[in-house]
Amino acid sequence: MKKHNFSAGPCILPHEVFEKSAEAIINFNNSGLSILEISHRSKDFLAVMEEARMLVLNLLGLEGKGYQALFFHGGASMEFLMVPYNLMKVDGKAAYLDTGTWANNAIKEAKLFGETQIVASSKEANYNYVPKIYSIANDASYFHCTSNNTIFGTQMKSFPITTVPIVCDMSSDIFSRNLDFSQFDLIYAGAQKNLGPAGTTLVVVKEEILGKSGRTIPSILDYEKQIKAESMYNTPAVFPIYASLLTLRWLKKNGGIAAIEKINEAKANLLYSEIDRNCLFKGTANIEDRSSMNATFILENNAHQEDFDKMWTAAGISGLTGHRSIGGYRASMYNAMPIQSVQVLVAVMQELENKNK
């Protein structure tokens, strides 16, 4: 039986992506070869890379606006390094918003390259909210933020208006909601949430912001060189990129970001309504900053934990345990999560309440 996968990542993907990926592992494009063994320079894979990059810009509404879509190795953690390497000017500075563990990790890497200003932080409240009042220096090389925080269950609902280039880590909510993506000068995202399996990372960058740092950048870390090589500077992650293409096709076929946003809102509203209604549970993130992707909550009385854990496990639910750093529970509801799985979780929560009346 297929389980209800609430894992934060690697996470659930559309069933048809699994099916088509499985077919390609045996015989890709009727070539008699597996996707796992074809040349990354073959005509078939070059077509995969080209379509995937094109679909990214199409879905984000960035076609013809001076952006390039690239696929890299190294996860979002590599981008923590590549962003300041490419964008922070020598003897310059960058501005960072600290909203959680991954934002903090990005800040640590940026400090290796120059002055890194933390414009605001919610660390003192265990990152249970997103700061909204802060100023960004006009001479900063860029402003960096994390749109969604998987560990603490918060999400930025708006972004600052500034003349400084905006860089956003969208690893856990890319393609999940309508935004004006042209407000961002660089977006990056690990694939393993809403895009594909672990192993590749998407970067979408406005070309005009590049080449201004004054740094000598190692070739493999240089966005300009990667653009020139069309994401083929070295052997790309062939299978994860192919699976990502299948996910992008699935999203496009089903109405794109506008359509999936409505589904995601329905799932989030269903679960948060139960968390707020049920006397046994309590949400951990500020209501106005709650993430539609990752709902974090706790039991009001830990005496119910053993019973609750047995119940959701018996219901076929997987990956509900909160991050090891904060505990509690975390229900990740990425694009491919059907609302029926959320209904199963809500039913278990109600059953626990009924047993303890």
Residues taking part in catalysis: 102, 169, 193
Query: Taking the CA of residue 274 as centre, how many other CA atoms within 13 Å lie in the half-sphere pointing to its CB?
Result: 23
**Structure token pair of residue 208:** 């005009």
Query: For residue 202, what are the β-bridge partners?
Result: 71, 189
DSSP string of 202-248, one letter each residue? EEEEEGGGSS-S-----GGG-HHHHHHTTT-SS---HHHHHHHHHHH
Task: Name the 3-class secondary structure at 345.
Answer: helix
Backbone angles phi, psi at 155, to 5 degrees: -145, 135
Backbone angles phi, psi at 307, to 5 degrees: -65, -45
C-alpha 286: how far from chain center: 20
| Pair 270, 333: CB distance under 8 Å | no
Q: Residue 333: how many CB atoms within 10 A of its CB?
A: 27
Closest CA to 333 of 315, 349, 345, 348: 345
Task: Report how far apart the first and last C-alpha atoms of the chain are (Å, whole number).
Answer: 32
d(C-alpha 103, C-alpha 96), whole Å = 8
Task: Name the 3-class secondary structure at 28.
Answer: helix
d(C-alpha 143, C-alpha 127), whole Å = 19
d(C-alpha 72, C-alpha 62), whole Å = 19
Rg of the chain, C-alpha, whole Å: 21
d(C-alpha 266, C-alpha 292), whole Å = 9
